[in-house]
Amino acid sequence: MSSKESVEYLKENLNIRAFLIFFRNFGLTLLLITPIFAYVGISSLREISLSNDKYPFTFWNGKDPKTEIVIVWETVENESSAVWLGKSSDNLNLIYDGDAGGVQLHRVELSGLEPGTQYYYRVGVASTPPNYIGNINSFKTAPNSENTEFKFALIGDSQQIFGIGAHERIAQTVGALEDLAFVGTLGDIAQESDHQGNWNQYLMEAQAFMSGTAYAPLMGNHDGWYGEKYSENKYKKYFGFATDPIYADDKHTLFNYTFSYSNTQFIIAEIAKGDDEKLDRSRNINHDKWLNATLAASQDKTFRILMLHRQVFATDAFNTDLINRIVPIAEKYKVSMVIYGHFHHYERFLYDNVTYLLQACGGVMPTDTGINPTTPYTKAFSMGAFYTHFAINTTHIVARTLTPDNDLIDMFALKNDNSRAVLVEGGGM
């Protein structure tokens, strides 16, 4: 064999070898990723195949939690709506029987309830015998006294892509907590505002805590649409507009509401930066008017907690627009704490002696990764799934952020000092 023939032979064999190596690597890669695609596919199919039937849940959305609450459930078929209510789980009385023509989304607003009372309820159709839907659920009305200690939990950014995430684990953990006054969200409940499967999965998983306590909803950017998808908005479908009468002619501010529980005023608002492409810039004027008016009316409370969705402070993502708007309001009206989501990690800030809490990993996947705190205002930082548990008494707020396995991530306390909430390093009452 000549040297030229040897070179050609070598090239040919090298090409064959390179092809075989490529084919082997491609096959190995395909073998490795096939289970991932299969898992994503199965999860997605499971999500979109879930029934529209919903067990009942209760919430405040501008209602007075001392005497009012809203009960919602959903059925695939048109049915009438009935509610049985009582102060004991074994003594429920039919208090509502309506929608005789039949509806699929059942919404019953209760009023005249007694403050500080544990109620049990059941829903269904008032036939003979009754056709109940789900088990007996419960909720507790807010107390009249402003000296009542209470606890609540917040779960931020629970949206799951293709039905994959940690929300179910967090929901189960929160559902096992005792004596919660309510459970709240910080927005981005579902990945897509108009995707029924997203909402079916969320409300199914959330039954773990919704069956035993009231819910405080908050709209996030993934939950709210103001364009062509507005009529298909599932947040509006299940929770409706809030009932705060301020600026009632502005449908956007009607997603904002406030309520008092014991010595604390909660202000819940879907606030966006001024250049958000989905929002009319002029609506921010009404938002800020509403915030100022609501906070001005709550100065008799020991604590004021402002809950938003979009971040004010976050590592590498300071929101200049919201900082310029929210920080002066928080300082002027002695806001005890500003809590929000949107950026998918945990971070606690102290800015001009006001605590800002970024809490946005309530199930969302993927979470932020590889971020290191670069701000002098950061007091704590973590990544991964979590929720935050709050305990409030006459002088302190104690917050504990925990993993789904209840491992402690961060703990801090705020003490009332001349109507301002001052950070107590290390936590504790």
Kindly give the confidence (pLDDT) of every residue in the chain, 429 residues in length, as a single tens digit, with 9 standing for 90 and above: 555 555 455 445 556 666 555 555 655 554 555 554 443 454 445 555 667 788 999 998 889 999 999 999 999 999 999 999 999 999 999 999 999 989 999 999 999 999 999 999 999 999 999 999 999 999 999 999 999 999 999 998 887 775 567 888 999 999 999 999 999 999 888 877 777 888 888 888 999 999 999 999 998 877 775 544 556 688 888 888 775 545 545 555 677 899 999 999 999 987 765 545 444 444 556 677 888 889 999 999 999 999 998 889 998 788 888 898 899 999 999 999 999 998 888 999 999 999 999 998 876 766 676 666 778 899 998 888 899 999 999 999 999 999 999 999 999 999 999 888 888 865 443
Determine, yes or no, domain membership for 429.
Answer: no
Q: Is residue 58 part of a domain?
A: no
pLDDT of residue 426: 57
Together in a domain, 161 and 135: no
Q: Both 217 and 338 in a single domain?
A: yes
Tell me: do 76 and 169 sit in the same domain.
Answer: no
Run of H or E including 188 = none
348 by Cβ neighbours in 10 Å (0-12 / 13-18 / 19+) ranks as buried
Does residue 28 lie within any of the structural domains? Answer: yes
Within-domain flag for 182: yes
Domain that holds residue 35: 1-49
Query: pLDDT tens, 159-204?
Result: 777 556 788 899 999 999 999 999 999 988 887 777 788 888 888 8
Residue 145 lies in a domain: no
CATH number where 260 lies = 3.60.21.10
Q: Are residues 229 and 115 in the same domain?
A: no
In a shared domain, residues 89 and 228: no
Residues 134 and 89 in one domain: yes
Per the structure, the count of domains in the chain is: 3
* Same-domain check for residues 136 and 157: no
One domain, residues 220 and 364? yes
2 contacts: CB under 8 Å, gap ≥ 6: none
Same domain? 112 vs 178: no
Look at residue 325 in the predicted model and tell me its pLDDT.
87
Burial of 246 (0-12, 13-18, 19+ CB in 10 A): middle
Residues 190 and 256 in one domain: yes
This prediction's pTM = 0.85
What per-residue confidence (pLDDT) applies to 269?
Answer: 86
Whether residue 309 is found in the same domain as residue 231: yes
